[in-house]
Structure formats: C-alpha cells, structure tokens
A and B are shown apart, each in its own frame.
Chain A
C-alpha cells in the first residue's frame, strides 16, 4: 500500500473495480450468484465485500471467539469457491450465507465445547437486543426509563425469538428467509413471533391509549 510505484496501477484497478461493483449493485441476487457460480471473480469480490461484515456480526452472536468466527467465514467461502460450477440457484444471497455460516459455526463450536454448554449459553445470553437512543417515540425524562423497559422486555424473550427479531429488523431479511434460517416449516411462524413480541410492547409505549 505504501509502495509509490504501485500507486497508479492500484488506483486504476480500483476505479475499474468500483465500476464493476456499481454494475453488480443493479443486478438481482439470482444473477450475481449465477455470475459467481460461473467463475466471475468480480462477483465473488462483490459478495465478499457486501456480506462479510454482516456474517461476522451475526456469527459472533454464537461465539465470542473471533478466530473461530473468522475461520468459519473463511471455510465457508473456500467451500463455495470450490463448488463453483455446480452451486444451486438462489434468490437471496444474504439469507443463504446466513444459513450456511450458522451451520459452519455450530459445527466448529461443537468440536470445542459440549453440546450442553453450547445450548445453555445459547439460551442464556446470545442474540441480545439493544434499543438505541435514537428511538424517537419517547421524549423527555422518561426516555431512558422507557428505552430500558422495552429493552428488558425484548431481552426476556427466548433466544429464538430475539434472533428472529434481529434478523427481521437489523438484517432486513424477509419472513421467508428467516423461516429458512430458523428451520421453521411455515413462513408465517416467523411473522407470528415478530407480531406477538412487538404487540406486547405496545402497552409500554402508549399506556394510556390501550
């Protein structure tokens, strides 16, 4: 990076690279994945750039061992690259990668800890939710108190429920993809979880009108 002789070439490649990324931005997930499957390196580059941070954040909810999460991401991409040419068609890359990284991480965790420990931890304090101070519905002195109340209510839900909520609001995945990641047989199960959990907050937010 600091070698001046490489600078101009790097700039050239990068701007071309940026152009390609712009091109992919307009394409559907189906087409991008297809390009990746056919060996398009820019498509791989795009997928890596777009999702690696989300994968790390999501994966770290399972394990604070950043090496384990990093290795899992690395293994997943190595595996996918090896399978190029015979990858299945998909319509949502993020949903597919999330489902895959989850499988990979669980697999790797199991080799290091017992299933019991894993489950216990999973149900205890994974996928915790923060209600950010930008929440505008509440004003004035009660703000902090109400924010904490909502946060507490959300974190009293089960890990599974919290995970669905985070996938829906933070990761912006559809109910269909969430159901897939969660292994729900019906899509509406995912919606039901969000609906019920959030309906219970209504009373906290507006106690007078209900």
Chain B
C-alpha cells in the first residue's frame, strides 16, 4: 500500500475523499503498524494537509449507532449453550432406547455445564477487564503527588520503580491483587521500570487509555491533553477508549493528540527520559515550551515581557544544573536578559 503511487494519490485528497477512503478509515479506526507507518510518513511530507486530515479523522471516529443494544453476559452464555445443545439433539434423535437417551441427557448437561464454565471464565478475563480501581475497593489506594520543582522515586512492593516528574501524580493500591498490577497516572509524567512477572500484567491507566506491559521500561507523558508513551525496553500495548490498540517496540513512541490523531514515531532517549536522570533537555523548543519546562523543573514562575515569541527556538542540555546556570546558558545564546528574584524569573529582550 505504501507505494509512491499511493503516496501521490492522497496529495489531491480533500475532506470528502479522505472520509470515503477505505485505507484512511482503517488507519483512523484500527491503527496498526502498516497503516500508521504510511500515514505518519505521508503527513510528514504533506504538513499542509494536517488540518483536513484531523477534521476527517474526527468525523470518522465520532459516528456511532444511535441506539446501543447490549448483549448481556447471560445472553452470551445462553445462546452459546443452546447452539451446542442443538447439535447434540440433532445427533442423537435417532437413538430410540429410553435408557440410552437418559444417559445422553446426563452427558449433555455435563457438557453444557463445562461449556458454561469455560465461557463464563473466559468472558471474565476478556470483557470484564478492570475499568477502574473500584475492582479492588477493599484495598487502600495510595496517591503520590509532586508539585512544581519536585521529583521523586516510588518503589512498589513488586519491585517496580516509578520516577515521578514534577507537577505529576500517581495512584496505586497498597498491595496488588494476584492477577493484575494496576496503577493510575493521575496527571503529568512518569517513567516506569517494571519488575518482570510472567503471570501478572502491569497496567497503567491514563485518562481513558491503558498501557499494558509484562516487565519493561517506558515513559508516559500526559500533559496538555496529549498522551505520549515511549518504550525503552520490552514490549508495551496501548489501548485507547476508542478501542484502538497499538503495540510498541523498543525505541518507539506513540503520541495521541487531543485532536484524536494517533502517530507512532521514533524518539531521542535523552530528550524523552532524560528528566529522570536529572537531564533538563531543550530540543528546538519554542519560547512557551522553554518557560513551561523551567517553571515545572524548578517550581518557579516565569514572567516575560517584550518577547517576540514567534521565531524563537532554543536547544540545550543541562545536567543537574542550578536555575541560575540554566538561565545564564539560555541568555548567552538566545539574546534574552533575565533576573531571578526568589521564586520569580523575569525575562526581557
């Protein structure tokens, strides 16, 4: 599909062409490695189409049945049983002897009990996947929250280590259940170094999306309505509330925009996870982004006057550096002046 001819075909596309295109809809509704790769590449070479693509994707995703008809768990099992029962009856109608018949009935009922157990249990696993922490209500939940300028490392009792960034919060149960390790990133950013366990998945819930892993390290950033999951090692599955699922390989990152756009990309390790090792990283950051990072990292308020924010960008790397040294570094290369007074920073041109 990702031939240059296909690539070219979409250049002429407008809103109505995108929404009526099978491959486009497939990408929006069921992103997989194949279509993600194509569309991500295509958008990179056609940046002016970003807006119309976002509009088209938004509409595609918003269409639903007006009336939802839930197929209940009971119905699921009942219909399944009746189907199996029917071919038992079919097969044994010729059996005329009443003794044999009663024996068949015994077998039959045993079989339907077994079927019910199998279905019932499978059902529990596949469909009643915990939606929220309520499922372990008798276990107390702990929340750790960092304000601006504060980071911390949280050690969970399964051996998992969580680095929690500033302006971030995480909740987890006092102890995990036997079947699942479930934590919630309430806001902000965290780096997870998950202790490997074959039997218990580790699931991070962020808004409505879930990140499921089996022992791995990865970064989750949920700020300004944008969710980014970057995988350093192991394997990670990301499910959003639309039913989309993306599997990440090491050094891949998935970004879910507020507009509903999902893209998979590679990432720079230090840029994404450097914060946990005390690296403050700026990569071609615009003025607002630099201000946000400094405010969050040092827990200060930045006030700027007379800045032409439009064509300003800064790149720099600082290891465990003081606010003064970082401000000095930025000032030297970026034509700005600054003044630090207590917890306030003043920037002028």
Contacts and interface: CB of A to CB of B under 8 A. Distances in A.
Interface of A: 1, 6, 10-11, 13-14, 17-18, 48-49, 52-53, 56-57, 60-61, 66, 69-70, 73-74, 77-78, 81-82, 127-138, 147, 150, 154-155, 165-166, 168-170, 172, 174-175, 191, 194-195, 198-199, 201-202, 205-206
Contacts of B82: 74, 78
A56 B69 contact: yes
Contact of B65 (A18, A133, A170): A170
Contact of B75 (A13, A70, A129): A70
**Residue in A78, A201, A206 with the greatest tally of chain B CB atoms within 10 Å:** A78
Interface of B: 14-17, 19-20, 22, 25-26, 29-30, 54-55, 58-69, 71, 75-76, 78-80, 82-83, 86-87, 90, 116-118, 120-122, 125-126, 242, 258-260
11 contacts: A10-B117, A14-B121, A18-B122, A57-B71, A66-B75, A78-B82, A133-B62, A165-B63, A170-B65, A174-B22, A205-B55
Nearest 10 interchain pairs by C-beta? A135-B62, A60-B69, A128-B66, A199-B16, A137-B58, A56-B71, A195-B20, A130-B66, A169-B63, A136-B58
Contacts of A82: 87, 90
A49 B122 contact: yes
Query: Dominant SS at the A interface?
Result: helix
B56 to A, nearest CB: 9
A166 B25 CA distance: 12
B75 A195 contact: no
Contacts of A165: 63
A74 B121 CA distance: 21
A131 B60 CA distance: 10
Contacts of B71: 52-53, 56-57
B258 A170 contact: no
B69 A57 contact: yes
Nearest to A174: B22
Contacts of B25: 168-169, 172
A1 B58 CA distance: 42
B258 A166 contact: no
Contacts of B83: 48, 74, 77-78, 81
B62 A14 contact: no
Given A78-B83, A135-B62, A169-B25, 6 more contacts: A49-B122, A127-B65, A130-B65, A137-B55, A191-B20, A205-B55
